[in-house]
Amino acid sequence: MNLNYSEEQVMLREQIQKFCESEYDFYTREKIVKSSDDFDSNVWKLFAEQGWLSMPFSEENGGLGFGAVELAVLFEEFGKALVIEPYLATVVLSGTLLDKSNYSKKNDLIEKICSGDMHISLAYAEANKNYDYLNSDTTLDNNILNGTKTLVLNGGNSDKVIVTCIKDKKLTLVIIDSNTKGVSINSFKTIDDQSCAEISFENVEIDNDAIIACDLEAIELINESINLATLCVSAEAVGCMESCYLKTVEYTKGREQFGQPISNFQVLQHRMVDMFVESELAKSLLFKAMLEVDSNSEDKYKHVSALKSQIGRSGKLSAQDAVQLHGGMGVSEEMMIGHYLKKMVSIDALFGNSDYHLKKFAS
């Protein structure tokens, strides 16, 4: 047994930390958020130069061949810095799906993702389907696509969209250019300063070579992609939880009331200890989940659900406590701490909330 990060993994974490400290402090992030763009394309270029956009792709497809552990390291650090660039949408949800598929044109697409020249979104969700992503009312009949997708992460900025639909009663994955005739995209801000879109397809003509996968293969690709994305956002939550307790400890040590730092008060100390303990427990479930995913075990879905269920509750509570212990500063937009709470709300809502994953874990 060895539950320690390898030297390479430690170096990767340090590289990402250094980047976030020097190029992505909260002030810089605020500037990006308040700009007219949904993210900073220069930052995205830097991600490409660092090789991060190539991380999870297999080496034969031009990637670095990294696994879930490395992705989790990246997302933990992204969580701490509250990175808003659409890594999850383009690289994890769409990129890893293509990487694992037998789609004939995937190499060119992955190359463009790695170089930072292309964004692809995965349109997996529809209204009122309650996290059942294999259930779709979008249809593909005689190569004509009709339907509406919702909550498409980064959908407003993508060059291409991978769409789940039903063809001959079977789940099918097609990829189309966002500017194809009959595609209309309406983009919205998310609570954590990212964006997602509602995309409707009205009699959109699809080429034969736009079909990525059908039936069981399509189901497996979607399940794997969503599971990996669920792991990634959970790792992001773990990063947020660590930052929440560290920043709260720092704040309470510096904040003086009644002639002393408020960190002297035992009631606050115990709250912060709880936040620390919850952060460690979440990290433990993350270890289990990422190792199960990397070994491609049968239980990989179950353990990702255990993790997601736990962080949905404890992550939100930690962020709420962090806000509470920061007092008024906690609810003010110019402090970073309140933004962790928004991130935790968003993470809990994505890919099935705490209750949903607890049920999935038990079944």
Partner 1 sequence: MDINFTKEDIAFRDEVRDWLNNGGYPKHVKEKTDKGITISKQDQIDFHKALAEKGWMGYNWPKEHGGTGWSATQLYIFNKEFGLAGCPPLLAFGVSMVAPVIWTFGNDEQKAKYLPDILNFNTWWCQGYSEPGSGSDLASLKTKAVLENDHYIVNGSKTWTTLAQHADWIFCLVRTDNSGIKQEGISFLLIDMNTPGIEVKPIITIDGEHEVNSVFFTDVKVPVENLIGEEGKGWTYAKFLLAHERFGIASVGASMRQLNKLKKIVSELDNPELDKKIHELEVSLSALEITELRLLSALENGGHPGAESSILKIKGTEMQQNISQLYVEAAGEYAIMYPGPHGYLSNDKPAGPDYAANSLSAFLNLRKTSIYGGSNEIQKNIISKFVLGV
What does the binding site for partner 1 look like in residue numbers (CB under 8 A)?
125, 127, 130-131, 148, 150-151, 186, 188-192, 196, 198, 256-259, 262, 265, 267-268, 320, 323-324, 327-328, 330-334, 338-339, 341-342, 345-346, 348-350, 353, 355, 358-359
CB closer to partner 1, 40 vs 198: 198
Give dist(CA 86, CA 300) in Å, integer.
25
H/E segment holding residue 69: helix 68-81
Beta bridge partners of 171: 166
Give dist(CA 115, CA 92) in Å, integer.
15
CB closer to partner 1, 268 vs 290: 268
Contact 214, 174 (CB under 8 A): no
Considering the complex, what minimum distance in angstroms separates the CB of residue 87 from partner 1? 16
CB closer to partner 1, 66 vs 124: 124
Considering the complex, what minimum distance in angstroms separates the CB of residue 56 from partner 1? 23
Considering the complex, what minimum distance in angstroms separates the CB of residue 167 from partner 1? 23
Contacts of 9 (CB under 8 A, 6+ apart): 69, 70, 73
Considering the complex, what minimum distance in angstroms separates the CB of residue 262 from partner 1? 8
Considering the complex, what minimum distance in angstroms separates the CB of residue 2 from partner 1? 37
Considering the complex, what minimum distance in angstroms separates the CB of residue 78 from partner 1? 16
Considering the complex, what minimum distance in angstroms separates the CB of residue 278 from partner 1? 17
CB closer to partner 1, 51 vs 327: 327
Longest dimension (CA), the chain: 76
CB closer to partner 1, 218 vs 336: 336
Considering the complex, what minimum distance in angstroms separates the CB of residue 350 from partner 1? 6
Tokens at residue 189, please?
A: 């801000």
- Rounded to 5 degrees, what angle do the CA atoms 314, 20, 311 make? 10
Give the DSSP per-residue string, 201-246. EEEEE--GGGEEEEHHHHHHHHHHHHHHHHHHHHHHHHHHHHHHHH
What does the buried/exposed string (b/e) look like for 307-318 if buried means 16 or more CB atoms within 10 Å of the residue's CB? Answer: bbbbbbbbbbbb
CB closer to partner 1, 9 vs 148: 148
Helices 215-254 + 300-325 axis angle, to 10: 30
CB closer to partner 1, 265 vs 287: 265
Give dist(CA 310, CA 282) in Å, integer.
7
Distance of CA 75 to the CA centre of its chain: 8
CB closer to partner 1, 242 vs 348: 348
Beta bridge partners of 140: 145
Tokens at residue 5, please?
A: 């990060």
Nearest to 175 by CA among 85, 88, 113: 113
CB closer to partner 1, 18 vs 189: 189
Beta bridge partners of 175: 162
Considering the complex, what minimum distance in angstroms separates the CB of residue 291 from partner 1? 28
